[in-house]
């Protein structure tokens, strides 16, 4: 099965965010996704690293014998980090910029995560557990094991509570190859059970259809799409989970700590509308009147309710393919472009060659998005729309 090249290009612009959506992306991330590129702004000179001058080599003389110069110590790397001063600006050993930031924020992030996990509220507990899997900058090619004590607890919590939001979060941590659940405790979850406990939601049915498409089970594809097309909602619960997680942040959190916390939250929200929806609604598939009707219904719900930039991009793509009214297509395209512009300038964990993306302007710009996300109740699309309406690009300019 191949996903259209044109949609892959659109997808690459948006995926970061899942990681901003893993969603999103789901979204991202996740999870049978299309190739991704991390959002980066490598041209921000103000966030460049400051390096100390290396010490001069010294020649030692002993009884008249010239010895080789002693190796110069490695220059200390001083990162320009928002709200950080003094000795903490310096990295230790061979730390990367990401490792440096993680070390500086570890205490605050650990307290926040522990408080969530110890909460009596099941959703907070689930988020606290899932945060152990957070990866602000995923390392591709080295997939972590999903058979872990944390995931075991999260699976049990999802099954015991029957809460669709917790179930979605757990599946995001457990999804393996070909949309199956990974070996171990994750095997206790399934897309079908999510659909059973969450009637009227198109998302699990779209994943069932995508999985069936990969397996070549066309009958199951038709059954799942038929159900998804009649669903009134499309909700992977990223909005609700984001609101819960960000609402638990302490009031005195620093800008750098808030940036790390926000990115951690987005990185664990790995389920959204699957990108295979574009293939299920391919040019060939929609030649069939029934499939075209189903895809049109799904696209309209996505356009109205999609809460991530990935879902917004997918809605815009399908609207074009299905020849929706021009005004609707133009509105979706403009919203998607503006949101992308606002958000692609402020992701500190982008291409950090030289550490250039971690300047204070970048961190504060990303914090402005997290603030907007909190104000929008966890809805990433609404947060981006608010930034655009306020004329405040996410890089702070």
Q: Distance between CA atoms of 127 and 157, rounded to whole angstroms?
A: 11
The pLDDT value recorded for residue 96 is 86
pLDDT band of residue 80 (cuts 50, 70, 90) is confident
Six-digit token string for 294: 């189903």
The Cα diameter of the chain in Å comes to 95
Give the integer Cα–Cα distance in Å for 189 and 181: 7
pLDDT at residue 65 greater than cutoff 80: no
Nearest residue to 241 (alpha-carbon basis) of 23, 16, 15: 23
Residues 10-27: tens digit of each pLDDT: 343 343 333 333 333 333
Cβ pair 101, 260 in contact under 8 A: yes
Contact between 266 and 133 (Cβ < 8 Å): no
Mean pLDDT calculated for residue range 202-228: 97
278-312 pLDDT tens trace: 999 999 999 999 999 999 999 999 999 999 999 99
CA distance to 105, 110, 251, 258, 351, per residue, from 118 (Å) = 20, 12, 19, 20, 35
pLDDT at 6 over 50: no
Helix/strand/coil for 233: strand
Arithmetic mean of pLDDT over the chain: 81
pLDDT for position 138: 67
What is residue 178's predicted lDDT score, i.e. its pLDDT?
Answer: 82
Give CA separation, 105 vs 213, 224, 287, in Å: 43, 44, 53
Does the pLDDT of residue 166 top 80, yes or no?
yes
Q: Do residues 212 and 220 make contact, with C-beta atoms less than 8 angstroms apart?
A: yes
Q: Give the model's pLDDT for residue 170.
A: 98
User: What CA–CA distance (Å, rounded) separates 218 from 201?
Assistant: 21
Q: Give me 40's structure tokens.
A: 């980066």
pLDDT in tens, 98-148: 889 999 999 999 999 999 999 999 999 999 999 999 988 766 655 678 999
Closest CA to 31 of 45, 7, 11: 11
Rg (CA), the chain: 23
This prediction's pTM: 0.80
Question: Above pLDDT 90, what percent of the chain?
Answer: 61
Tens of pLDDT along 349-371?
Answer: 765 444 346 778 888 888 999 99
pLDDT at 140: 60
């Amino acid at each position: 099965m191949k996903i259209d090249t044109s949609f892959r290009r659109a997808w690459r612009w948006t995926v970061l965010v899942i990681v901003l959506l893993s969603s999103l992306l789901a979204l991202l991330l996740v999870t049978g996704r299309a190739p991704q590129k991390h959002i980066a702004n490598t041209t921000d000179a103000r966030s460049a690293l400051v390096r100390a001058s290396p010490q001069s080599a010294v020649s030692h003389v002993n009884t008249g014998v010239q010895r080789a110069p002693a190796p110069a110590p490695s220059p200390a790397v001083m990162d320009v980090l928002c709200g950080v001063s003094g000795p903490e600006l310096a990295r230790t050993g061979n730390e990367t910029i990401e490792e440096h930031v993680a070390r500086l924020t570890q205490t605050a992030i650990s307290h926040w995560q522990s408080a969530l996990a110890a909460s009596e509220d099941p959703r907070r507990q689930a988020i606290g557990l899932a945060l152990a899997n957070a990866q602000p900058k995923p390392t591709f090619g080295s997939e972590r094991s999903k058979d872990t004590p944390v995931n075991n607890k999260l699976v049990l919590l999802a099954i015991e509570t029957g809460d669709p939001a917790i179930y979605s979060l757990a599946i995001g941590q457990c999804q393996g190859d070909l949309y199956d659940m990974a070996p171990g405790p994750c095997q206790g979850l399934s897309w079908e059970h999510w659909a059973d406990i969450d009637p009227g939601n198109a998302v699990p049915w779209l994943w069932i259809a995508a999985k069936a498409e990969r397996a070549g089970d066309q009958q199951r594809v038709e059954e799942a799409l038929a159900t998804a097309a009649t669903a009134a909602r499309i909700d992977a619960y990223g909005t609700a989970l984001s609101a819960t997680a960000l609402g638990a942040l302490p009031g005195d959190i620093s800008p750098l700590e808030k940036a790390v916390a926000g990115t951690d939250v987005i990185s664990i929200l790995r389920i959204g509308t699957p990108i295979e929806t574009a293939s299920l609604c391919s040019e060939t598939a929609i030649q069939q009147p029934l499939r075209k009707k189903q895809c049109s219904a799904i696209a309209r719900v996505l356009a109205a309710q999609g809460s991530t930039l990935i879902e917004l991009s997918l809605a815009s793509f399908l609207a074009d393919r299905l020849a929706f009214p021009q005004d609707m297509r133009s509105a979706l395209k403009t919203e998607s472009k503006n949101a992308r512009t606002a958000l692609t300038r402020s992701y500190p964990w982008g291409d950090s060659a030289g550490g250039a993306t971690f300047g204070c302007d970048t961190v504060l710009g990303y914090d402005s998005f997290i603030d907007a996300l909190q104000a929008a109740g966890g809805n990433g699309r609404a947060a981006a729309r608010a930034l655009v309406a306020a004329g405040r690009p996410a890089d702070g300019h």
